[in-house]
């Protein structure tokens, strides 16, 4: 298991947090997601054999947010 924290720009409310959680948890290999609205980031625990950081970033960007790895 690997853990990564991503900066996520464009989250404004609890609905945004739920969207980010939903798209990340929808990926096979993601085991835990903690989204922090105040700090505009998400910490994700995932299986590197099943999902990549690029895939994590892609699904969040496809949901309408700007993403940068920390």
Three-state SS at 2: strand
Confirm whether pTM is higher than 0.75: yes
CA distance 3 to 45: 4
- Residue-range definition of the domain harbouring residue 20: 2-69
- Domain containing 19 — which CATH number? 3.30.70.100
CA distance 30 to 13: 23
Q: What is the pLDDT of residue 66?
A: 97
How many domains does the structure of the chain reveal? 1
Q: Report mean pLDDT in 10-residue bins for the chain, 70 residues.
A: 97 98 98 98 98 98 95
Among the residues of 1-70, which ranges form H helices?
A: 14-25, 53-62
């Amino acid at each position: 298991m690997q853990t990564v924290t991503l900066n996520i720009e464009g989250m404004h409310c609890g609905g945004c947090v739920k969207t980010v959680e939903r798209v990340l948890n929808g990926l096979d290999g993601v085991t835990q997601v903690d989204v922090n609205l105040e700090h505009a980031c998400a910490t994700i625990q995932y299986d590197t054999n099943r999902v990549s950081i690029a895939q994590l970033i892609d699904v969040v960007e496809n949901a309408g947010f700007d993403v940068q790895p920390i």
